Structure 1
């Protein structure tokens, strides 16, 4: 079979729809044809990964899944490769008929990359994207303008963490540098428009010897979309104790990034075929926050799971030593996945749902660095009448509790969810 014919076949594989014709041609030049008889094992569970398989003719069955077997019946133009737990196959795959596959060997799998996985060492040397997201234009002593810049997380609307982080940055700019934020409470009122600037107006509520309090109103199109209250404190000596204990988790250096985990989920045959095809068609954006999930699992948005999550995180890029900046970055990062875990016990096949933040609060207990690893431990203890409460704790690598958090979110089931500028309720 010539290269042009192989390119035509590869173009029908959902995983490869995101690639250019040049990338497909390069893959076509290096793939290996593999043929199997009925009953042959294509791969064995826990066997070292050879690469990614693309089925051309025949059918194969993924063994070991307790779910709907039709989702694990592989047909022409389906694909599979390494599993979420590393460079081994997660399941046995058996030919149900004469089977023809193309195998892209592991040393050529970089050809699948559309957005190469970032290098953690280089991350620390590059300018910090989250710092640019939080940058504001001063228009007056108490008025600032923020933007949703390219590559900022948006999710179809202004990301809630951006509002929290930018509003906190605006408040910080009006407080003397010897006072650092120790808590904030915020309310999300309207969906933000990513195409226009956000105006942050800061109101001085208190300026005492040791404490200062600010209220920040975020506005678009003449309407207040978000409100933040923040309290700042001068450094003072006092009592010190801690009852919360950091759970034992694998070190972040031994875990893969969120982006690489998504890539692994795409090729893991123990995840449903339709789910893998769906995420294969989506562009994987590199967030400005490096997240490492502590306990990878096979749960999806279509399956129930416990309302809890643990992950390590840090900013991508090096930050200055300004403690106020580090707290703004943590405020930004705190809203990335926080509200969603309240949906976990209610997920089911065919359900479309969303978690919309209603309010968000943080208490900063101790100094921290947002460009060093922090462990985020979160749980949703209850949901009722469409509202879910999530609580969280952040620990540094020494096990010190540095931040406590709460958030209430509106948990909605809908056929189609389209963010529009206007009321969230």
Structure 2
């Protein structure tokens, strides 16, 4: 494993195969993961990069909707096929399919728009959130834990994450509520490419989005027998923000039923600008009711 930021940039630096039939074909690597499966945020971000490569530079992504179809194998590279569904006067639509061993692991549609003027309002950022500097870093939260997953989370992730009120890696402390917030920032500076920051934000959006559903039932990541996986993922970009500056990811879960949890999220800049909104449903299975 290389340093986390270099690994992230390498994963998002897709190779254009030059194939041009009815679709554009790109390839990319899979990042190492201690569980052996491709991280969902990685394939989301790569699928976005592939779609971005086929759209005029002045059109920026404003929404994406994706379904995780199969677990990805970190030992295998990924092929991305992009279908140029539509190019209109203001909007472009792309469908990206991510494949391993000839089978799709993710299907995503993204929409792009030429910047325009219009109505402008946003939800307010929560006012009672402590500054990230007052909270323990990801490495500090996992300090002294001798486990390969914990060591990976502490030193190999390209993002620092600081939970409010506290992480749920090993236990859920305090009141069981269906909401939380997480400060996030890349562990070092990234290039100025705005599309890279948008894709990296999608990457980070998959880290903790299901935790609000888990927190409500006292389910920590270390819960014996827990099985959790992303099923689908939607994201809307509202305003530009850099991921190498602190942003706040506010998350809540309005529903859990049938072994699935639904979570929504809002990403704010430190100055209070609403950067993006996220929604995800995931499989959350525990061997017995935890609540």
| Contact kept? 1:128, 1:315, Cα under 8 Å | no
Tell me how far 1:347 sits from its aligned partner.
4.1
Q: Is 2:137 the counterpart of 1:137?
A: no
What RMSD in Å do the two structures reach over aligned CA positions?
A: 2.4
Match of 2:101 among 191, 216, 221: 221
- Give the counterpart of 1:372 among 224, 245, 263: 245
Q: Does 1:146 align with 2:28?
A: yes
The CA distance in 2 between the partners of 1:256 and 1:192, in whole Å, is: 32
Distance 1:127 1:164 in 2: 17
Q: What is the alpha-carbon distance in structure 2 between the residues aligned to residue 366 and residue 298 of structure 1?
A: 30
Alignment CA distance shift 1:281-1:351 (3 Å): closer
Counterpart residue number, 1:185? 65
Post-superposition offset of 1:305: 3.1
Provide closer, same or farther for how the CA distance between residues 360 and 388 of structure 1 changes in structure 2, counting only shifts above 3 A. Answer: same
Q: 5 Å matches for 1:166-315? A: 166-263=46-143, 266=144, 279-282=145-148, 283-285=150-152, 286=155, 287-296=157-166, 300-301=170-171, 305-315=176-186
> Which structure 1 residue ranges, 5 or more long, are not aligned?
1-122, 267-278, 416-425
Give the distance between the partners of 1:389 and 1:127, measured in 2 at CA: 30
User: 2:203 is matched with which residue: 299, 312, 332?
Assistant: 332
CA deviation string 1:156-180 (max 9, x = no partner):
2000001100000000011111001
TM-score by length of 1: 0.60
SS at match of 1:337: coil
Question: 1:339-387: per-residue Cα shift (whole Å, max 9, x none)?
Answer: 2432233346974212211100000011111111100000111101111
- Provide structure 2 residue ranges, at least 5 long, that are not aligned to the other structure: none
CA change 1:255–1:345 in 2 (3 A) is: closer
Counterpart CA distance in 2 for 1:348 and 1:324 is: 35
The answer to whether residue 37 in structure 2 is matched with residue 157 in structure 1 is: yes
Higher-Rg structure is: 1
Instruction: Give the Å deviation of 1:281.
Output: 3.6
Assess, with a 3 A threshold, how the Cα gap between structure 1 residues 297 and 146 changes in structure 2: closer, same or farther.
closer
Number of residue-to-residue matches in the alignment: 275
Tell me if structure 2 keeps the 8 A contact 1:343–1:355: no
**Partners in 2 of 1:310 and 1:148 — Cα distance?**
28
SS of the equivalent of 1:237 reads coil
* 2:210 alignment partner, SS class: helix
Worse-superposed segment, 127-136 or 318-327: 127-136
Is the alpha carbon distance of 1:154 and 1:163 closer, same or farther for their aligned partners in structure 2, counting shifts above 3 Å? farther
CA distances 1:63-87 after superposition (whole Å, capped 9, x unpaired):
xxxxxxxxxxxxxxxxxxxxxxxxx
Give runs of aligned pairs for residues 406-421 of structure 1, distance below 5 A.
Answer: 406-414=279-287
